[in-house]
Structure 1
Amino acid sequence: MTRKIVHLAVYDTQADWETGHATAHLAQNGFTVRAVGLTTEPVTTMGGLRIQPDLALDALDPADSALLILPGASLWDTGDKLAPFARAARAFLDAGVPVAAICGATAGLAREGLLDDRAHTSAVSFYLEATGYRGGERYVEADAVTDRDLITAGPTEPVAFAREIFARLGVYEGEQLDAWYRLFHDSDPTAYEILSA
């Protein structure tokens, strides 16, 4: 992977817990994480944290990125305010640049038609069915799913979500990837030795 910048979408009401494992370990492994907002105005997360975006969405170019991460947020289910991020995801996927969406962001991608022909997951199948999308037969009951350049996960699976991101970007592979997951998902102390070797 030559591009070492990962773009994290940030917006009001975003779920703080869903992307922390991914962004922290990407940053520790040579990636720069840049926050992209609808504008460069600060946003406030569900947890009350204030985030200043590094750039506005209209300045985001898939050619400058290794990955776009879309966290969940209440706003995904209360109107079309975040629809521009789903359109950006389409541009990324069309350019062959991966997208990772978790929780409510999966509903945004469903509305955009990006889950109609890809295996995917979310919180529960009927959550996505409510969007009116046509990809229901491609829904998978799993912690996280990768199909081509698209990674999806439900809101309770930030560790599995991060694992899929690391696998796609080559951050951890094979035994190390498995050890990372066992350490952070299962609290398996034997995994630490493998990671620190």
Structure 2
Amino acid sequence: MTETVHVAVYDTFVDWEIGLAIDHINKPMWQREPGRFTVATVGATASPIVTMGGMRVVPDTTLDVVRPQDSAMLILAGNDIWNTEQFSPFAAKARDFLAAGVPVAAICGATGGLAMAGLLDDRAHTSNAAEFLNSVGYAGGHLYRDEPAVTDRDLITGAANAPVHFAREILERLDVFAPGVLASWFKLYGDRDPAGFYELMAE
């Protein structure tokens, strides 16, 4: 049965931060179970949004109808609205997912929005910088990790400058690739070692 990975979309959505992750979730190449996952975009409403890169995206579905039990993961990219009312419904949906034991992955500004909602107060996490999250007055500073990406239970967080590390955590959590394939994948994309490509081609 196909499982859906939901990607939150909103104006100023930072498209490049999650591109590598959703590409390899959506395409069957090298996957442990090809075709297991599909990617769907979810907006606050059905109205089109414009990404930071200028692309116009019409959401596949809306927050009010997405249920954690019908999803494999919720992914939240960075944005310029993380500290506004516009982002609050997405943070609330992330809370629902985590409460249901369904993973959430947030990168860049989205981590700030989750921090404001109290979702980083009891989980190890990372972001663009400790100072960035401290500026929102959250209670999770003692759990901040100065790492490119961090997974704690069902929450994945990543820094804006580490989309490859963020993607690796997502792919590992979803069990998209066998461990050896994921290692070769990261060798290619993370370490920029061409040997990783030839290892993948041999799969």
CA contact under 8 A between 2:17 and 2:160: conserved in structure 1? yes
Count of aligned pairs:
195
Q: Matched residues in 1 for 2:124 and 2:53: separation?
A: 31
Q: Matched residues in 1 for 2:163 and 2:179: separation?
A: 19
Give the alignment's TM-score, normalised by structure 2: 0.93
Gaps in structure 1 of 5+ consecutive residues: none
Q: Matched residues in 1 for 2:72 and 2:132: separation?
A: 29
Deviation at 1:3, TM superposition (A): 5.6
User: What's 1:75 paired with?
Assistant: 81
2:138 aligned counterpart, secondary structure = coil
CA contact under 8 A between 2:2 and 2:38: conserved in structure 1? no
Q: Matched residues in 1 for 2:130 and 2:178: separation?
A: 30
User: What's 2:31 paired with?
Assistant: none
Identity value in percent: 53
Q: Matched residues in 2 for 1:155 and 1:164: separation?
A: 14
Q: Matched residues in 2 for 1:39 and 1:95: separation?
A: 23
User: What's 1:99 paired with?
Assistant: 104
Which residues of 2 match residues 140-151 of structure 1 at below 5 A?
140-151=145-156
Q: Matched residues in 2 for 1:175 and 1:32: separation?
A: 23
Which residues of 2 match residues 23-172 of structure 1 at below 5 A?
23-29=22-28, 30=35, 31-77=37-83, 79-172=84-177
Query: Alpha-carbon deviations, 1:114-145, whole Å to 9, x = none?
Result: 10010000000010001110000100010100
Q: Matched residues in 2 for 1:115 and 1:194: separation?
A: 37
Give the alignment's TM-score, normalised by structure 1: 0.96
CA contact under 8 A between 1:3 and 1:65: conserved in structure 2? no
CA contact under 8 A between 1:3 and 1:64: conserved in structure 2? no
CA contact under 8 A between 1:167 and 1:177: conserved in structure 2? yes
Give the number of the structure whose residues are more often helix, by fraction: 1
Deviation at 1:184, TM superposition (A): 0.9
Gaps in structure 2 of 5+ consecutive residues: 29-34
Cα RMSD, aligned residues only:
1.0
Q: Matched residues in 2 for 1:165 and 1:137: separation?
A: 24
Structure 2 letter corresponding to 1:43: I
User: CA, structure 1 residues 173+141, in 2 after alignment: closer, same or farther (shift >3 Å)?
Assistant: farther
Q: Matched residues in 2 for 1:89 and 1:134: separation?
A: 18
